[in-house]
Amino acid sequence: MVDITHKQTTLRIATAQATVKVSQLATIDAIRQGTVPKGDVFAMSKAAGLLGVKKTPELLPDCHPLPIEATAIEYAIDGLEITINITVKTIYKTGVEVEAMHGASIVALNMYDMLKPIDKGVEIQHIKLLEKRGGKSDMKTDAANLKAAVIVCSDSISEGNNSDRAGKVLITLLKEHDVTINEYQVIPDQVAAIQEQVQQQVAENTHLIVVTGGTGLSPTDVTPEAIQPLLERPIPGIEEVMRRYGQERTPMAMLSRSVAGMVGTSLVLAIPGSTKGAQESLQALLPAIFHVFHIAKGGSH
C-alpha cells in the first residue's frame, strides 16, 4: 500500500452516487408498497451498503483500513430511476471516496438482486464520485509568490567539520510547494549571529524564515533564546502541531524547544537540526502554514 505515514489526520468526506433503472412502473410501486418478494428493498440495500463501506479494504488490495465515523445513504425516485447517494466521513490520513463508491455499488447491486425476480430489465446505469473534501488537496493555498530563507545553526557545520543535510531537505520541501528560496546560510549556533540573520531577512521582507538547529537541551543550543525576544506575535499553535506530529513518529520529539511567531510580516520558525526532525517539523505545517500570509493581509481564517 502507498505510504501515508507522513500525512496529517484530518476530516475527510466523500459523496458517491449510483443509479438503478427499472423497466416498469409496477416495480417502483412494489418497492414503495413493500411487496417485493425478497423484502424491504431500501432497508436491505442500505444494510448491504453499510457493509460494503466497512469491507472496502478487504476487497480492494491497495485500500487502507480506516475508521468509518459516519455513513449516510439516501434514495430518490424519478420515474423509472432510483438515485442512490451515499456520504462517508472519517477523521484519518487518507480519503474515503473509494469507500463511498464501493458502498454505492453494493447498494445498487443489492437492489438489482432483490428486483430481478419481478423485473428482468433492471439496469445499474452509473456509479460516480460527486464530491470529496479534506486533506491537502482541499487547502487552497498559493505559495508561488512567497520567499523563504533557510538558516542552519550549527557550530560544527559552520566550521566545516560536518555537512548540512537538514537545510537542504527543507529547501527541497519548500520548492515542492513553489516557494522561492531567497537565502540559504550556515551560521554558528550563537545568539548574536542568529538574531542578525533573522533581522536581516525581516528587513528584506522575506515571508518565511526557517531556522534549523539549536532547539535541543544542550547548553550550546540557543536558537529559542535568540528568536523568542524578536517575536512580536508568538504562534503557539504552530509549535504544538510540530511537536505533536513529531511525537507520533519519534518519542523524543517532546524534548524539542521549537518556537514560532511573526516578526513584522515575516513568519519565523525555529525547528530541530536533525535531518529527520527538520523534515517532519516542516511536513507537519505544509501547506497549511501558507495561510498565515493570507491572514496577515487581512484575510479571514
Element (H, E) at 104: helix 97-115
Domain extent at residue 222: 147-296
Catalytic residue check, 62: no
Average the pLDDT over 101-117 and give the result.
Answer: 98
Q: Which of 5 and 194 is assigned the larger pLDDT?
A: 194
Tell me the three state secondary structure of residue 132: strand
| pLDDT for residue 134 | 86
Q: Taking the model in full, what pTM does it have? A: 0.79
Beta-carbon contacts of residue 273 (< 8 Å; ≥ 6 apart): 152, 153, 154, 166, 212, 213, 214, 215, 216
Say how far apart CA 267 and CA 143 lie, in whole Å: 14
Using the predicted structure, report yes or no on whether residue 269 has a pLDDT greater than 90: yes
Please give the tally of structural domains in the chain. 2
Cell representation of residue 111: 437492489
Same domain for 203 and 127, yes or no, is: no
Same domain for 105 and 154, yes or no, is: no
Kindly state whether residue 301 falls inside one of the protein's structural domains.
no
Q: What is the pLDDT of residues 214-243, one digit of tens each?
A: 998 888 899 999 999 999 999 999 999 999
Contact 212, 273 (CB under 8 A): yes
Tell me the three state secondary structure of residue 255: helix
Among 103, 136, 169, residue at a domain's last position: 136
Candidate list 113, 142, 178, 189, residue with the active-site label: 113
Residue 74 maps to which CATH number?
Answer: 3.30.70.640
Residue 213 maps to which CATH number?
Answer: 3.40.980.10
Q: What is the pLDDT of residues 135-175, one digit of tens each?
A: 766 666 667 789 999 999 999 998 889 999 999 999 999 99
